[in-house]
Amino acid sequence: MVVAIIDGHGGGIGSYIIKRLREEDELSDLEIIALGTNSLATSAMMKARANRGASGENAIIYVVPQVDIIIGSVHIIMANSMLGELTPKMAEAIASSNALKLLLPVPQESVSIIGYQYEPLPHLTDKLIQKIKELIAIQGNNKEIRESRV
């Protein structure tokens, strides 16, 4: 399974998520691609042990159609978010990708998600990891079912 983690600014959220994913033995086979809106964000995520990384608009537009899961804050599908680092073309490519998008409702900018109650990033990341484990289990079961039909 190929996962793209998208972050901007200093890459703190993305690098935290990658570190947590790497701590999970069950997720050791994940291929993690760090996609930064800038090189500083990508560098931080690479230090957190992403498999590969790339920066900028073209890299994000090129990679997101090729991955299974996209992870980031909810702002990665909002044009001009992250103080303008996330361009309209990036937001469109991410939102239009067929990949499953697992978005964290991290409070930023002038967006309020109604019904959302604040939870710290570690709690949100725990839920994210649990969801990925569930998806891998489902994928494994589907693969077993398909193989048993052959």
Residue 111 lies in a domain: no
Strand partners for 2: 31
Longest dimension (CA), the chain: 52
CATH code: domain of residue 20: 3.40.50
Condensed to tens digits (0 to 9), the pLDDT of residues 26-40 reads: 999 999 999 999 999
So what's the pLDDT on residue 148? 45
Query: Under a CB-based contact definition with an 8 Å cutoff, are residues 4 and 99 in contact?
Result: yes
Residue 80 lies in a domain: yes
* Band of pLDDT at residue 121, cut at 50, 70 and 90: very high
Residue found by looking up tokens 């901007």 in the block? 8
Residue 36 lies in a domain: yes
Which structural domain, as residue segments, surrounds residue 11?
A: 2-106+116-149
Residues with Cβ within 8 Å of residue 106, at least 6 apart in sequence: 13, 73, 74, 75, 121, 124
The pTM assigned to this predicted structure is: 0.90
Domains in the chain, number: 1
Residue 138 lies in a domain: yes
